[in-house]
Amino acid sequence: MAVADLMVVIVDVILVRIKVIYLPLSFLDITPVCSFIKFLSYAATVVSVWLTVAFTFDRFVAICFEKLKTKYCTERTAAVVLGTGLLEWIISECLPELCFPGQQKSLLLTEMHSSVIGQIILIYYPVLSAIGVPVNLVAIVILSRGKCGLSKCISHYLVGMAVADLMVVIADVILVRIKVIYLPLSFLDITPVCSFIKFLGYAATVVSVWLTVAFTFDRFVAICCEKLKTKYCTERTAAVVLGTVSVLGCLENVPWNFTYEPRYISYNVPWRCVTKASFFTSPTWAAFDMFHLILTPCVPFCLILLLNVLTVRRILVSSRVRKGFRGRSNGENHKDPEMENRKKSIILLFSISGSFILLWMTHVAFYIYARITDIQYYYSYSDPRYITEQASVMLQLLSSCTNTCIYVLTQTKFREELKNAVKYPFNLIVKLVKS
C-alpha cells in the first residue's frame, strides 16, 4: 500500500498536477510520454484502492473467522494477493496501452451523451446490474432452502430460472453492455474472451426463456392433466428438464463462437470481435440466424401464450363445476382449501409468464418488423428505429430481474424468508458484540 501510495504521489501529484502548473511545456508533453504517465496515474490509484480493500478483508478474516485465519492470513497469501493486483493492473491497463499507443479508445460516451436514449442507456444498465445481481442471488438462496411453502418441483424450476437470469445480467448486461460503455478497451476485448462472453450472453438468454416455458408447461400439466400430473410434476422430472434445457441451450449457441474474427492483431494478440463477412453472405449462416431467432423468442412466446390460454380455460371450467358442487353440498360461504392452494399457484404462474410476455412483446414485434422491412442497422442515436430497438432490448433484459419481485408480491413465506435474510447480518453483529 505504501509503494502504491508513493506511486500516486509521484505520478499523479508531481508529474501531472504540479508539472501542469509550474512546467507547462516540456519533454513530458511528448504524446507517448504523456500517455504513459497518465496510464501510471490511473493504474497506481486502482492498485492503491484495491490493496486497501484487500488489507481490510485480511483483518476481517483474522478477527471473525478463527478457522480460516491460519490458512488465509499468511505471508504467502499476502504475496499472492499483491501479485494478483499487479497482474490485473498489467492486463487491464498496461497491455491495451502498449498495443494501441495514442489511440483514442472510444467516442461512444461522447456520442451517447448527445441523445436522450443514450443518456438513458448510460444510467439504465448500471442500475439494472446493481439490482439484478443481488435480487437473483437472494432468490437462489431463499428458494434453495425450500422453506417457501412451494413444492420441490416448483422450487427447482424457480431456482433454475434465477440462475439463468443471473447469468444474463452478468454476461449480457455487465460484461457486454456496461463494459462497452465504460471500459471500451481491456483484456475482455481479446477475441477468444470477447467471443466466449457473447456466447454466454446468448446461451443464458436462451436457457432463461426456455426454463420459463418449461415452468409454464409444468403448471399446465399440474392443472389440466390429472393423469399425467403424478408422473410428470416431480422433483426428478424437474431436474432432468433443467439439465436438458441448459445443455441444449448451450449447444445451440456454440456456433456463435465461430461467427467472429479479430478487428486488430497486435503483437500476435487478436483484439475485438467483429462479425465475419461470410455471416451475411452464407446461406448456412442465414439459416442458423433464422433458426436461432425463431427458437428464441418467437416459439417460446407463442407456447407461453397458448399454454396460458388453455390453463385459463381449464381453470374457469373447473371453478364453475367445483363451486356448483360445493354450493349444493356445504353452502356458498365455505372456503375451499384446494381452490385456495390452486389460486396461489395460478397467481405465481400468470405473474411470471405474463411478465415475460409483456417485457418481450416489444422485442418480438421489432424483430418481426425488422425482418419484414429488411432494416439496415446503420442509423444515428436519434433514429426512431434505433430508439425502438434499444427500448425493446432494455425491456427484454429487465425480465431477468422481475421474478424475485413477483415472488415477494405473491408468496407470503418468501417475504418472511426475505425478512429473515435481511435481519440475519444485524443479528450476527449483535451476537458478536455481546460475545
Q: How far apart are CA 230 and CA 226, in angstroms?
A: 7
Q: Which residue has the cell 436438458?
A: 244
Same domain, yes or no: 242 and 94: no
Same domain, yes or no: 129 and 80: no
- What is the structure's pLDDT at 109? 55
Q: Which of 103, 120, 145 is the last residue of a domain?
A: 103
- Please state the φ and ψ torsions of residue 259, each to the nearest 5 degrees: -95, -5
Angle subtended by helix axes 152-168 and 402-410, to nearest 10: 150
- What is the structure's pLDDT at 100? 47
Q: How far apart are CA 39 and CA 102, in angstroms?
A: 11
DSSP for 157-226, please give it: HHHHHHHHHHHHIIIIIIIIIIHHHH-SSSGGGBHHHHHHHHHHHHHHHHHHHHHHHHHHHHHHHHHH-H
Q: How far apart are CA 399 and CA 169, in angstroms?
A: 10
- What is the structure's pLDDT at 198? 93
Same domain, yes or no: 297 and 181: yes
Q: How far apart are CA 196 and CA 205, in angstroms?
A: 14
CA 402 to chain centre: 12
Same domain, yes or no: 288 and 187: yes
What CATH number corresponds to the domain at position 409? 1.20.1070.10
Q: How far apart are CA 421 and CA 435, in angstroms?
A: 21
**250-275 average pLDDT score:** 89
Same domain, yes or no: 153 and 71: no
Q: What does the pLDDT look like over 151-207, one tens digit per residue? A: 889 999 999 999 999 999 999 999 999 888 877 777 888 899 999 999 999 999 999
Q: What does the pLDDT look like over 16-68, one tens digit per residue? A: 888 777 777 676 777 667 777 777 877 788 888 888 888 888 888 788 777 77
- What is the structure's pLDDT at 40? 80
Q: How far apart are CA 213 and CA 265, in angstroms?
A: 42
Same domain, yes or no: 118 and 96: no
Same domain, yes or no: 324 and 377: yes
Same domain, yes or no: 58 and 133: no
Question: Residue 282 pLDDT more than 60?
Answer: yes
Same domain, yes or no: 41 and 173: no
Q: Are 191 and 260 in contact (CB under 8 A)?
A: yes
Q: Which of 58, 78, 103 is the last residue of a domain?
A: 103
Q: Are 247 and 335 in contact (CB under 8 A)?
A: no
- What is the structure's pLDDT at 384? 81
Listed residue (222, 250, 357, 223) closest to 301, CA to CA = 357
Q: How many domains does the chain have?
A: 2
Q: How far apart are the first and last CA of the chain?
A: 33
Q: Which residue has the cell 437472494?
A: 138
Where is pLDDT greater, at 363 or 94?
A: 363
Kindly give the pairing relationship between strand 274-275 and strand 260-261. antiparallel
Q: What does the pLDDT look like over 325-346, one tens digit per residue? A: 555 555 555 566 666 666 777 7
**What range defines the domain where residue 15 resides?**
2-103
**What single letter denotes the amino acid at residue 204?**
A
Q: Which residue has the cell 424483430?
A: 367
Same domain, yes or no: 88 and 155: no
Q: Which of 74, 103, 132 is the last residue of a domain?
A: 103
